[in-house]
Structures are given as C-alpha cells and as structure tokens.
C-alpha cells in the first residue's frame, strides 16, 4: 500500500487510517484519476466475466447453462458495465490524469467538484450493480425499451436499479463535463491558444460538451420511466394513448451523442500516440480538430438510425439515413490524417503503437459496417441480428484498443515505472487475435439470420460451429487481459524506473517528473508552439530531432542540443520545488454530498412494494435521509474555507 | 529568463471594475416585459386564424426570452464565449424538439383528438 | 464563497469568470432538460383519450398574473445584483428578500392552481395531459423552490457577514439561475397555456 502511494507520488501519512483518509478527502486530479482507473479496471474484469458467461451460454444450441431470466440480466449488465463503467470510466481516468498536465495547469477548475464526480461514479456503479443482491439486476438491455421497463411487464426491481443507477452516473458525468469545459477553456497555460492545444485535450473538451448536453435527455427519459413505475403516470402507457416509441427517441437522442462520448477520447489518444511513435507531427491538425467538432454537432442529427425498423415512415428514414452517412465523413477524415501521420515516419513499434494501429484497423472495419447499416433497406435485414452486434463491438470494443494504447503510453508518467515490453506485446497479440476471431464471424451469423438479444438458438440452422468457435476465441481476449494484469502488478512492484520522458514525447506532461509532483509544474510554462515540448527539445520545426549527437535523452535540466541549457527552460525543474505554490485543501464534503444523493436514489428504488423486494412507503425515509445528508453536505461545501 | 509564477494578468473582467447603476435600464426592460405579456394574453382572447395566433404568440415569447437573456442576464455585454456556450445548446434543442414534433405528427398540428 | 473570490484573482485564459462560465454551461444543459420535458408535452399534445382537457381546467387570467409575478421577480433579482455591485448591502438584502417572496408567491400560486385542477379531476395518472402537465410544471416549480432556498441562504449569509460586495459574483451567478427559471416559464406559459389546442 505504502509503496503504491510512493509510486504515485504521495507520501503516506502515518498509519493506515490516515492514509485512507487522505484518499477519501483528496481533491488532487492525479489521485482522482488513479481512483477512476482502479475502479475502471475492476469493472473491466467484471464486464469481461459477464461477456464470458454470455459466450459460454451461446457456445451450444439450446443450452440451459443460464436460464433466460439470468441471461437477460447478464447481457444487460455486460452492456451497461462496459459502456458506462469501463469506457466512460477510462475516459474520466485519462481526462483527470492527462488534461491538466497537457494544458499546463495545476489542477482542474473545481477540484472539489472533481472529487464529487468520482464518488458519484463509484456510488452510481454500485447502485447499478446492487440488483444482483436481490437476484434482480437490470434485465431490460442497456437500452431499456418501454414498455418492457413498465411495471406491468417488469414488476421486479431490475428496471428501478437501471433507472436510478444511470441517473447517479449521469450526475457524475454532467459534473465532470462542466468541470472539464471550464478547465480547458479557462486554465490553459499562457500562449496556449485552442489551436495549439494537444488533440487529446481538444477531444476531452468536445466530449465534455457532449456529456453536458446529452445526459439531461436521458435523465428525462429515465424520470418518465420512474414516474410510470412509481406514480402511475402515462408516459409510455398505450392504454392512455401514449406511444412507447417516445422512450426510444429520448434514449437515442442521448444515445447517439453517447457513443461519440465513448469514442472521441479514444481518437484523442490515437492522435497523441501516433505522432510520438512516428516521430512526426500529427498530419492535418486543424482537420482532425474540426472533424471532431463536426462529429459532435452532427451526432444530434442521426439518432433515429437506431429505429429504422419501427415504422417511422420513408421520409424520416431517408433523412436519418442521409445524416448517418454524412457523419461517417469526418471520421474518415481523421483516419486519413492518421495514415498520413504514419507515412514516412520513423516508426517505433512499441506496445502503445501496436494498440493504436490496431484501433485504426478495427475501427475502420466497424465504420464500414456502420455505413452498411446507414443504407436503410440493408438495415431492414441487418437490424436486430448479429450483424449489428458485430458492428458495435468492432467500434465500441475497438475503443478498448485505444484504451490500452493510452494505458501503455501514460502508465510510466503516473507510476514512474515502465511496463514490460515483452508482456505488452504478448497481451496485444492475444487480444488482437481473440478480438477478431470472436467478433469477425458475427458478421456472417448476422447475415445468416441469427437474432440478437436471445438466450439461445435452435440447433441445425448452421450457426452451431461459429458460435462455439467465437466462444473459444473469447478466452484469448481474457488471457490477454490477464497478461496485462500480471504486467501491471509486476511493474508496480519492480518495474524499471521510467524517467520523465521515456517515449521522447511531444506534449507538456512529459516535461515534468514521473510521477508528477503534487503541484504539477514548478513554474507554469509559457507556450509558443503546438507540440511545445518537442519544440523546446528540438527546435520549432523539429530541426534538431535528427541532428547527429542528439539521441533521445530524458530532460533532466540538461539540454545540450536545444535552448540554452538552463534549468528554467524546463518547466518541471527549478530549485524551488514549488514551495510557494498554494494547493487547494482536501475536503470530505464531496464524498458526503455524493453519498447523500446516492442514498436518496437508492431510497427511490426501495419505494417499490415489499412483495418485490422494496420497502414500500418506508423508502421515503431513505429518500428523506439522503436529501438531508445532501443538504448538509452542500452547505458545508459552500461555507468551508478553500485552499 | 527566470520565470516567476506570474502569468500574463488576465483577471475575470468583472471584478473590481467601475459599476454603473443599471436601475433605470432594468425598470424599462421590466415595463416592456409587462406590456408584452399583456399583448400575449390579449392575443389569446382575440379570435383569429390559428396559424396567426401561433406565430404571434411564439414571436412575443421569443421577445420576452431575448430581453431577459440579453439584459437581465447581461449576455449582450459579456464575453461572446458565454453567448456561444448558451445559444449552441439552445438552438440544438430547438432543432431536436422540432424534429421530435414532426416525428410525432404534432408539428403541423392537426388539432386534438377530443 | 471563498472559492469564488479566490478564482477571481487567478489567471484565466479568456477573462471570463469561472463561476459564470460554469453557470452558463449548466443553464445550457438545463435547456436540454426542460426541452425534453416540453418535447414530451408536445408529442402528446391533444392526444388524451379521456378528460379533463386543458380548456376545461385552465384559468388564464389567474395564470397570467402568476406569470407576471415571476417576471417581476426577475426585475428585483437584477436590482439585487445591481445593488451589491454598487456596494449597497442594505438594498441588496431588500431586493433578495423581495425576489424570494415573489418566487414564493409564484410557487404558492401554482400549488393552489394544482389543487383546483385536482378537484376538477385532473390527476397525474388520469390521462396524458395530467401526466405531461404536472411533471413539466412540477419540475419547473422544483427549480423555483431550489432558487428560493439559494436566495434565502444568500440573505442569511449576508446577515452573518459572509456575503459582502467582494462576493458580488456569487449573487450574479445566483441571478443567472433565477432568470433562467423565469425564461423557462415564459416558454411554458405560451406553449402550454396560451397556444391553441
């Protein structure tokens, strides 16, 4: 425990409890990022286990390994876990760890709000999973279509945990989104105009906007489901003349921007890794950035492509078919710019690079099947089959490649240690092979008519072999992930020290020690160029990058090839050790407020009748208690003296 | 080239600046708001073609909306970033809302079922 | 409070006060929140299979007055911000109190209005109109109530000496929230009450 603390740059206080308290009250973005990372990793393993259960069930026709009820819970939780807890969790991890350093800031704009986002994330994830304890985890698919979520079709607690778990996670994301927009807009180092900012931070900005502006729509949809279940409203009640399709609309108006919330940070990671491991600047930076902006806006105009087969009519289908094809264009622009970055680069095939290259390949495949879905008549055949499952795993599970690229790339910075290259490559090949052998055949199965969201299938339809094959292949991915966990543990225990700049990086986070000191930069740097660190090391146009005698050297106050060699050119290294820098005080109010909100939301679930596992009207006591705690925490937060 | 921790000073523009007394402006705006509300209610009672009623009412409420945002919320005089950050989502939501109404058949409103 | 004033002294890349930026972003997100509720109302407009229907319950003169009250509360709020920027704490307190009072009149008026509707048979679950109407206006009323609590907290803080002209930005940011809640009502009043069915 203490060694981990030292590894991440924090000196443990005396005693275990003092150490724990320091984590519970931290407002430091780096520690918050680590907490997000640890939580995300745990859910990656849980979600992966859920995936393996699905594959075990589907390995044989007419299998009864899992009964239909259990299967519905497992596949619902697999989707919810992977989307909301793993990918979004990983994005939050990276935003917290990387963004303030890349923009040359000491922390985010609202450190306590940042801590609140994490605790809300943790409690929300627990609330979402709490249903397992009742044997009633959400079982309505991650998309929760009405009227299946109605109290008539689903009297148990599953949909209630679904609604409240997602609401809690939504609060976390909106708070984080607000914080990171404020941070990126207002706390950039002097001289760093938006068009000099690293692409990852740009994508973080766009993702944060999307989070703020998409989650409220989901919140309303969820409120409507909850009110129907608890208070007898008629939002999705056909008997009162309502249209259950309203849920689908509201959900996908959120849902399509949501998938761009998932993928834009991943694209940001790729845009950081490729230039470093090609030793070339990103090709077409303005185009990559503007494509991201277009994608963010257009994402609000395509949602009904998830609904082509519900009967909206040819006009609606045509319009959304066209907009969906249009949104493929900016993504294509990014891919071509990445390829151009690689072209004639001095390529270094380290593990981060391998994962980044695989992401491009895998995402392109997923993008192509996406365009096939956008062709409305084709989609009439493909929808609700495994062809769709193939598509979204190639794009969304494809994001996992970018996740690992980011992990292997930034690991040394925050732990001060290197991950083992050999194990990394083993992880990569196992995962890449397993991924393609698992999800590739799903295209065929889909075209052969195998429907999705079903717990089993009849024998003799020609689907048997591929299903068994895919299930076996899934274990290769699991094995690869296991190799990663071993690598991570090994690195933390006895990995080689990383130094400040193990990859010869281009952006400011590599200019400070690994792990970074609490205050990040001893002096906030003044930025003059895009890829500011590369310019300081090798000149504004990288002229000295290939001069003889300037082999890559970690910056440690000595820069014989560039600048004038004075320590003050290196933002992380001055003799002051940041003694004059004020950091914000730790606080326990974020934790208290998050707990209060989560408790209140749990209380709302418990309002359901005792026969199904709730507490009935006694639930109001929990709601009331949660509200009181929230109010108390909010006042404490507002009135406590800061930093 | 030694740098201290002093960046280009760019403090939030509205701290410590000279403040003008805006009382008269606010009262004028409030008066206009009151009058427009009166006209809106009058429009409700005056019998005219449905399309005309709808257009007039929407236009009048847009005027009230704009007056509060621009003057009471000071957006007319503040940094353009704030205007961008608010009008972006506003316009986007209006567009999505119109699309939803079209999809549910209530945009070109056929009248109630009762 | 202390947090706000400290941020104001810090460097910002754009010159925009961080709390102000945060509130405008939040209001942008609230546009989607209320927009979705209004869109739901509009999706089901005129679709109720049974009554009561809007024209059977609405009292337009009554609601017009409460709409006017809320608009005037925006005036008093703006005057509160104006006063604290001019350093006049006494006037600030009065305007804050008036705003909270006008807001309370509005909420009280709504509660009374809803009880009359319920007496006429319009409940949450009776039809689509009841469902969409109460949830939309209910969430708006909840937003107003939170605003009143915030205003009273600021008033209380000023009596404790914790709210001084140095915290003018806090009052301004609270004002932004209050005005937003008012303009949402401008939209709801027109769309729900005035537009022909």
CA distance A220 to A200: 31
Q: Chain A 311-340, CB below 8 Å of chain B: which residues? A: 312, 316
Q: Is A40 a catalytic residue?
A: no
Within a domain: B8: no
pTM value?
Answer: 0.92
Chosen from B1, B2, B4, B5 to mutate, greatest number of chain A CBs within 10 A: B5
Based on the fold, state whether residues B70 and B31 are members of the same structural domain.
yes
Helix crossing, A399-415 with A464-494: angle to 10°?
A: 10
Separation of alpha carbons C53 and C46, rounded Å: 8
**Separation in Å, CA of B39 to nearest CA in chain A:** 33
Question: What distances in angstroms separate CA A182 from CA A27, A329, C189, one per listed residue?
Answer: 16, 29, 33
| pLDDT score at C10 | 60
Q: Which residue of B has its CA nearest to A106?
A: B5
Give the bridge partners for A385, in sequence order.
A451
Which residues of chain B neighbour A569 with C-beta distances below 8 Å? 1
Which of C87, C74, C92 has its CA nearest to residue C158? C92
Cα dihedral sign, A51-A55-A58-A63: negative
Tell me how far apart the alpha carbons of residues B59 and A282 are, in angstroms, rounded to a whole number: 48
Residue C10 lies in a domain: no
**Residue A256 bears catalytic tag:** yes
Of chain C, the end-to-end C-alpha distance in Å amounts to: 47
CB contact under 8 A, B5 and A316: no
Paired strand residues for A417: A497
Give the dihedral sign, CA A584/A585/A589/A595.
positive
- Select the residue of B10, B96, B100 nearest C12 (Cβ to Cβ): B10
* Domain contains B12: no
Under the banding of pLDDT at 50, 70 and 90, the label for residue A3 is low
Q: Are residues B46 and B31 in the same domain?
A: yes
State the burial class of residue B76 (Cβ atoms within 10 Å of its Cβ: 0-12, 13-18, 19+).
exposed
Gap from B59 CA to chain C (nearest CA, Å): 10
Would C110 be classed as within a structural domain?
yes
Torsion of CA A495, A501, A506, A512, to 10 degrees: 110
Confidence band for A570, pLDDT divided at 50, 70 and 90 = very low
| Domain identity same for B95 and B48 | no
Whole-angstrom distance, CA of residue A404 vs CA of residue A354: 10
Q: Distance between CA atoms of A18 and A1, rounded to whole angstroms?
A: 12
| Number of independent structural domains in chain C | 1
Query: What does the alpha-carbon distance between residue A467 and residue A59 come to, in Å, rounded to a whole number?
Result: 5
Tell me whether residues C42 and B69 touch, CB distance under 8 A. no
Say what the pLDDT of residue B19 is.
73
- A29: number of Cβ within 10 Å: 26
Name chain C contacts of A231, Cβ cutoff 8 Å.
124-125
Q: C47-77 b/e with 16+ CB inside 10 Å = b?
A: bbeebbbbeebbeeeebbebbbbbbbbbbbb
In a domain, C7, yes or no: no
Those residues whose C-beta lies under 8 Å from the C-beta of residue A289, and which sit 6 or more positions away, are A195, A199, A202
Residue A497 backbone phi and psi in degrees, to 5: -60, 140
CB nearest to B2's CB, from A212, A213, A568: A568
Say if CB A210 and CB A257 are below 8 A apart: yes
Tokens (6 digits) for A111 = 């450190």
pLDDT for the residue A549: 47
Q: Do C124 and A232 touch (CB under 8 A)?
A: yes
Model pLDDT for residues A319-338, shown as the tens digit of each residue = 999 999 999 999 999 999 99
Query: Is the confidence at residue A573, as pLDDT, over 50?
Result: no
- Are the Cβ atoms of A213 and C29 closer than 8 angstroms? yes
Q: Known catalytic residue: A260?
A: yes
Asked if residue C12 is part of any domain, the answer here is no
Q: How many CB atoms lie within 10 A of CB A159?
A: 29
Give the residue among A511, A513, A516, A488 at the shortest CA–CA distance from A499.
Answer: A513
CB A47 within 8 A of CB A86: yes
Q: Is A213 on the interface with B (CB under 8 A)?
A: yes
Q: What domain range includes position C105?
A: 19-46+59-194
Chain B interface, best mutation among A300, A320, A526, A562, by max B CB count within 10 A: A300
Same domain, B57 and B68: yes
* Rg, Å, chain C Cα set: 19
Domain containing residue B105: 79-114
Subunit partners of chain A (3 or more CB pairs within 8 A) = B, C
Assess contact for A265 and A329: CB atoms under 8 A: no
Q: How far apart are CA A306 and CA A310, in angstroms?
A: 9
Q: Which of A267, A273, A387 is nearest to A331 (CA)?
A: A267
B9 CB near a chain C CB, below 8 Å? Answer: yes
Structure tokens at A242: 């309502």
For A111-131, what is the mean pLDDT?
98
Say if residue A639's pLDDT is above 60.
Answer: yes
Q: Kindly report, residue by residue over A466-487, the tens digit of the pLDDT.
A: 999 999 999 999 999 999 999 9
> How far is the C-alpha of A561 from the C-alpha of A461, rounded, in Å?
68
Q: Which of residues 80-99 of B touch C (CB under 8 A)?
A: 81-82, 85-86, 88-90, 93-94, 96-97
Low-confidence ranges of chain C (pLDDT < 50): 1-9
Q: Does residue C116 lie in a domain region?
A: yes
SS3 C95: helix
Residue A451 phi/psi, 5-degree rounding, is -75, 155
Percent of chain A with pLDDT over 90: 89
B9 belongs to a structural domain: no
pLDDT score at A511: 93
Considering only CA atoms, give the Rg of chain A: 25
pLDDT at A345 over 60: yes
Among positive and negative, which fits the CA dihedral A59, A64, A67, A70?
negative
Question: Cβ separation of C53 and B114 shorter than 8 Å?
Answer: yes
Asked if B64 and B29 sit in the same domain, the reply is: yes
Question: Does the beta-carbon distance from A190 to C40 stay under 8 Å?
Answer: no
Query: For residue B114, is it within any domain?
Result: yes
Q: Is residue C153 part of a domain?
A: yes
What digits encode the pLDDT tens for the residues A400-421?
999 999 999 999 999 999 999 9
Nearest CA-CA distance, residue A568 and chain B, Å: 6
B12 closest CB neighbour out of C8, C31, C197: C8
Q: Do B22 and C20 touch (CB under 8 A)?
A: no
Q: What percent of chain A has pLDDT over 70?
A: 92
List, for residues A12-50, the tens digit of each pLDDT value: 556 889 999 999 999 999 999 999 999 999 999 999 999
Residue A422: CB atoms within 10 A of its CB come to: 11
* Buried b or exposed e, range A452-475, using 16+ CB within 10 angstroms: beebbbeeeeebbebbeebbebbe
DSSP code at position A297:
H
> Is C176 within the bounds of a domain?
yes
For residue range A243-268, what is the model confidence (pLDDT) as tens digits? 999 999 999 999 999 999 999 999 99
Q: Is A117 a catalytic residue?
A: no
B72 and chain C: CB distance < 8 Å anywhere?
Answer: yes
* A359 CB-near residues (< 8 Å, 6+ apart): A266, A270, A398, A399, A401, A402, A405
First to last CA, chain B: 79
Supply the pLDDT for residue B47.
Answer: 84
Check whether residue B86 and residue B69 sit in a common domain.
no
Are B30 and B64 part of one and the same domain? Answer: yes
CA distance C98 to C77: 8
Distance from CA of A243 to the nearest CA of C (A): 9
| CB contact at 8 A, C40 and C132 | yes
Helix H or strand E encompassing A111: helix A111-129
Give the integer Cα–Cα distance in Å for C167 and C165.
Answer: 5
Tens-digit pLDDT profile for residues A188-242:
999 999 999 999 999 999 999 999 999 999 999 999 999 999 999 999 999 999 9
Q: Which DSSP state fits A196?
A: G
From the DSSP assignment, how many helices (H) and strands (E) are in chain A? 20, 0
Tokens 């966990």 -> residue:
A485
Asked if C36 and A250 come within 8 Å (Cβ–Cβ), the reply is yes
DSSP class of A12: P
At B11-63, the pLDDT tens digits run 444 444 557 899 999 999 999 999 999 999 999 999 889 899 999 999 999 99
CATH number at residue C139: 1.20.120.80
* Residues B29 and B73 grouped into a single domain: yes
How many Å apart are CA A616 and CA A610, to the nearest integer?
6
In a domain, B14, yes or no: no
Is residue A243 within 8 angstroms of chain B, CB to CB? yes
Cα-Cα-Cα-Cα dihedral of C36, C38, C39, C44, to 10°? 130
Asked if A243 and B104 come within 8 Å (Cβ–Cβ), the reply is yes
Domain count, chain B: 2
The reply to whether residue C74 touches residue B15, judged by beta carbons under 8 angstroms, is: no
- Between chains, do C17 and B14 touch, taking CB under 8 Å as contact? yes
Whether residue B88 sits in one domain with residue B39: no
Per-chain mean pLDDT for chain A: 92
CB burial readout A355-368, b (16+ within 10 A) else e: bbbbbbebbebbbe
- Judged against a pLDDT cut of 70, whether residue B9 lies above it is answered with no
| Nearest in space to C172 (alpha carbons), one of C39, C17, C7 | C17
Distance, in Å, from the CA atom of A302 to the CA atom of A325, rounded to the nearest integer, reads 9
% pLDDT > 90, chain B: 69
Residue A103 has which token pair? 């923009």
User: Are the C-beta atoms of B72 and B27 separated by less than 8 Å?
Assistant: no
Domain shared by B25 and B74, yes or no: yes
Interchain proximity C20–B21, CB inside 8 Å? no
Least confident window among A68-82, A555-569, B53-67 = A555-569
| Range of weakest confidence among A131-140, A317-326, A378-387, B19-28 | B19-28
Residue A249 a catalytic site member: no
Residue B3 resides in a domain: no
Is C5 a domain residue? no
Torsion-angle region of residue C24: left (phi > 0), alpha (psi -120 to 50) or beta? alpha
The tokens for A391 are 């598509």
Is residue B37 assigned to a domain? yes
List helix spans (H) across chain C: 2-9, 18-43, 54-57, 60-85, 89-119, 128-159, 168-188
Check residue A578 and give its pLDDT.
Answer: 56
CA distances from C142 to A375, A624, C137, C145, C181 (A): 44, 16, 9, 5, 10
Domain for residue B11, yes or no? Answer: no
pLDDT at A465: 97
Do B68 and B98 lie in a common domain? no
Q: Are B40 and B72 in a shared domain?
A: yes
Under the banding of pLDDT at 50, 70 and 90, the label for residue A544 is confident
Interface test with C, best of A110, A219, A638 (most C CBs within 10 A): A638
Options A142, A303, A386, A410, the catalytic residue: A142
Query: Is the CB of residue B105 less than 8 Å away from at least one CB of chain A?
Result: no
């Amino acid at each position: 425990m203490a060694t981990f603390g030292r590894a991440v740059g924090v000196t443990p206080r005396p005693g275990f409890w003092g150490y724990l308290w320091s984590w519970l009250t931290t407002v430091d973005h780096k520690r918050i990022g680590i907490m997000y990372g640890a939580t995300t990793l745990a859910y990656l393993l849980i979600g992966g286990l859920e995936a393996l259960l699905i594959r075990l069930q589907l390995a044989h026709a007419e299998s009864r390994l899992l009964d239909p009820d259990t299967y519905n819970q497992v596949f619902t939780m697999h989707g919810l876990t992977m989307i909301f807890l793993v990918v979004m969790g990983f994005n939050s991890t990276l935003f917290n760890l990387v963004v303030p350093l890349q923009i040359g800031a000491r922390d985010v704009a609202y450190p306590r709000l940042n801590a609140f986002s994490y605790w809300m994330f943790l409690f929300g994830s627990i609330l979402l999973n709490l249903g397992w304890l009742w044997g009633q985890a959400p079982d309505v698919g991650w998309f929760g279509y009405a009227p299946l979520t109605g109290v008539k079709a689903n009297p148990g607690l599953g949909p209630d945990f679904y609604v409240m778990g997602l609401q809690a996670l939504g609060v976390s994301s909106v708070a984080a989104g607000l914080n990171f927009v404020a941070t990126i807009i207002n706390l950039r180092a002097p001289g760093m105009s938006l068009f000099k900012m690293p692409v990852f931070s740009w994508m973080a900005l766009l993702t944060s906007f999307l989070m703020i502006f998409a989650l409220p729509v989901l919140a309303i949809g969820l409120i409507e489901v909850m009110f129907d279940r608890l208070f007898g409203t008629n939002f999705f009640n056909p008997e009162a003349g309502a249209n259950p399709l309203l849920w689908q609309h509201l959900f996908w108006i959120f849902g399509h921007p949501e998938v761009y919330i998932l993928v834009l940070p991943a694209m940001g990671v790729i845009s950081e890794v490729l230039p470093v491991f090609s030793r070339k600047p990103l090709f077409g930076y303005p185009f990559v950035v503007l494509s991201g902006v277009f994608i963010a806006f257009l994402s609000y105009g395509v949602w009904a492509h998830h609904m082509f087969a519900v009967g909206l009519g040819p006009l609606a289908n045509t319009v959304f078919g066209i907009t969906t094809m249009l949104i493929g264009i900016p993504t294509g622009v990014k891919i071509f710019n990445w390829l151009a970055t690689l072209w004639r680069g001095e390529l270094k095939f380290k593990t981060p690079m391998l994962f980044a290259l695989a992401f491009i390949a895998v995402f392109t495949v997923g993008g192509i099947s996406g365009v096939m879905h956008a062709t409305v008549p084709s989609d009439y055949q493909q929808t609700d089959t495994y062809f769709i499952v193939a598509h979204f795993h190639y794009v969304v599970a494809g994001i996992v490649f970018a996740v690992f690229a980011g992990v292997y790339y930034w690991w040394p910075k925050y732990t001060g240690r290197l991950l083992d290259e050999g194990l990394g490559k083993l992880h990569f090949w196992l995962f890449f092979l397993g991924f393609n052998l698992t999800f590739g055949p799903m295209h065929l199965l889909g075209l052969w008519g195998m429907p999705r969201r079903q717990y089993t299938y009849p024998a003799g339809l020609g689907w048997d072999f591929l299903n068994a094959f895919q299930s076996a292949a899934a274990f290769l991915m699991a094995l690869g992930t296991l190799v990663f966990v071993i690598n991570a543990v090994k690195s933390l225990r006895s990995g080689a020290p990383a130094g400040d700049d193990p990859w010869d990086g281009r952006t400011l986070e590599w200019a400070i020690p690994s792990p970074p000191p609490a205050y990040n930069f001893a002096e906030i740097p003044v930025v003059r160029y895009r890829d500011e660190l590369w310019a300081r090391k090798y000149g504004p146009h990288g002229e000295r990058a290939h001069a003889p005698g300037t082999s890559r050297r970690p910056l440690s106050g000595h820069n014989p090839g560039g600048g004038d060699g004075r320590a003050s050119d290196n933002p992380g290294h001055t003799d002051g050790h940041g003694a004059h820098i004020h950091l914000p005080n730790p606080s326990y109010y974020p934790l208290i407020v998050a707990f209060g909100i989560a408790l209140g939301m749990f209380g709302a679930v418990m309002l359901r009748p005792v026969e199904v596992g709730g507490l009935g009207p006694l639930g109001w006591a929990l709601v009331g208690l949660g509200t009181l705690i929230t109010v108390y925490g909010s006042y404490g937060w507002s009135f406590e003296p800061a930093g | 080239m030694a740098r201290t921790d002093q960046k280009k000073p760019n403090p939030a523009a509205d701290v410590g600046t000279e403040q003008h007394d805006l009382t008269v402006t606010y009262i004028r705006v409030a008066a206009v708001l009151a009058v427009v509300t009166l006209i809106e209610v009058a429009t409700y009672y005056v019998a005219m073609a449905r399309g005309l009623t709808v257009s007039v009412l929407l236009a009048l409420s847009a005027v009230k909306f704009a007056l509060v945002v621009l003057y009471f919320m000071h957006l007319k005089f503040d940094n353009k970033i704030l205007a961008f950050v608010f009008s972006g989502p506003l316009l986007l939501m209006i567009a999505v809302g119109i699309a939803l109404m079209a999809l549910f058949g209530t945009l070109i409103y056929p009248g109630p079922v009762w | 409070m202390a947090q706000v004033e400290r941020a104001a002294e810090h460097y910002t890349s754009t010159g925009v006060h961080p709390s102000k930026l945060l509130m405008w972003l939040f209001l942008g997100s609230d546009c989607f929140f209320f927009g979705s509720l209004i869109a739901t109302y509009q999706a089901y407009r005129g679709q109720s299979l049974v009554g009561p229907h809007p024209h059977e319950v609405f009292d337009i003169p009554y609601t017009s007055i409460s709409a006017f009250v809320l608009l005037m509360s925006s005036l008093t709020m703006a005057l509160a911000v104006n006063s604290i920027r001019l350093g006049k704490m006494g006037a600030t307190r009065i305007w804050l109190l008036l705003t909270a009072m006008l807001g309370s009149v509005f909420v009280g008026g709504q509660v009374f209005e809803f009880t009359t509707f319920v007496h006429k048979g319009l409940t949450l679950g009776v039809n689509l109109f009841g469902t969409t109407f109460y949830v939309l206006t209910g969430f708006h009323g909840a937003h107003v109530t939170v605003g009143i609590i915030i205003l009273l907290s600021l008033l209380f803080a000023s009596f404790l000496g914790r709210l001084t002209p140095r915290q003018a930005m806090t009052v301004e940011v609270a004002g932004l929230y209050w005005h937003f809640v008012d303009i949402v009502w401008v939209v709801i009043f027109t769309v729900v009450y005035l537009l022909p069915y």
